[in-house]
Amino acid sequence: MDDVMKNLPESIRKLTEDKPYETNDFGKSGSLVRIYDDFVLKIEEERPGIAQMVNVMQWLDGKLPAPKVLATEVKDGYRYLLMSKVRGRMACDEYYMTRPEELVTLLAEALKMLWSVDISDCPKTFDLKAELEEAKYRIEHNLVDLEDVEPETFGEGGFNNPEELLQWLYDHQPEPDPVFAHGDFCLPNVFFEDGKVSGFIDLGDAGIADRWYDIALGYRSLKHNADGTYGKYYEGVKPDDLFGKLGIEPDWERIKYYILLDELF
């Protein structure tokens, strides 16, 4: 990535030159992220989905507290994206994990904010059939990380292998309840400040999707951030409280479906 940084497009170099930054490798995207005082620079190999993400981010301007695109260019196969910095703390910050009532209330508020966005002219729609084809490709090319799955997904009481899971996903596709969805609604991607939702980050999968997609991933993220999966246990966090805050009954079949789909990515 050093050569990529030396090759910065001029429009981005002018805005970032000589400004202090930190390098952030949080997440699995494989991209280079530099965090400045007031903005974030993300560099990754250009793909069709990245251009679509930029379109969604620009479309979201004024609709949600999300990063604003300040400059973006493609150069020598890499997408350079400079965006405003979201303020606040991640939802998985210890401050919120030790205040479960506030945490769950704000997570529900974040979901309601997403659902309040008018989707009539949204530039992207989640395509479940295309997602299943991508999952098939990942299985065929041994790209599924079997070490990073729920313990009950495979083996006794679960699926024999990823191929069997994929077939189950093909056979049980749910009828969607379309809303604007984040697409990766996990705690590190939602920020809070002063008792309010202050922003959403990592919007690469954002667009029109089933309401239960975000609920499923958010429920799982809340559970695992509290139950010791990531190295720390927080007492008093009850993921099921999320449904009460949302004023809905859990649809466990859809929650199961989207968590299982995510196992292949």
Q: For 79-125, how does the pLDDT look when each residue is reduced to its tens digit (9 = 90+)? A: 999 999 999 999 999 999 999 999 999 999 999 999 999 999 999 99
**What 3-state class would DSSP assign to 22?**
strand
Q: Could you give the CA distance from residue 109 to residue 9 in angstroms, rounded to a whole number?
A: 38
Nearest to residue 237, comparing CAs of 227, 247, 228, 245?
227
pLDDT for res 181: 98
Q: Could you give the CA distance from residue 173 to residue 132 in angstroms, rounded to a whole number?
A: 10
| Residue 185: how many other CB atoms lie within 10 Å | 27
pLDDT for res 27: 47
- Average model confidence (pLDDT) for the chain? 94
Q: Could you give the CA distance from residue 153 to residue 161 in angstroms, rounded to a whole number?
A: 9
Q: Could you give the CA distance from residue 135 to residue 25 in angstroms, rounded to a whole number?
A: 25
- The answer to whether 21 and 33 have CB atoms below 8 angstroms apart is no
Q: Is the pLDDT of residue 231 over 70?
A: yes
Q: Is the pLDDT of residue 28 over 70?
A: no
CATH architecture of the domain covering 2-84? 2-Layer Sandwich (3.30)
Q: Could you give the CA distance from residue 148 to residue 263 in angstroms, rounded to a whole number?
A: 8
Q: Could you give the CA distance from residue 174 to residue 184 in angstroms, rounded to a whole number?
A: 18
* pLDDT tens, position by position, 42-84: 999 998 889 999 999 999 999 999 999 999 999 999 999 999 9
Identity of the amino acid at 12: I
Catalytic residues, which ones?
A: 184
| Mean pLDDT calculated for residue range 182-210 | 97
Q: What's the CATH class of domain 89-262? A: alpha beta
pLDDT for res 49: 85
Could you state, in order of their start, the residue ranges of all structural domains in the chain? 2-84, 89-262
| Residue found by looking up tokens 């090759």 in the block | 7
- The answer to whether 104 and 241 have CB atoms below 8 angstroms apart is yes
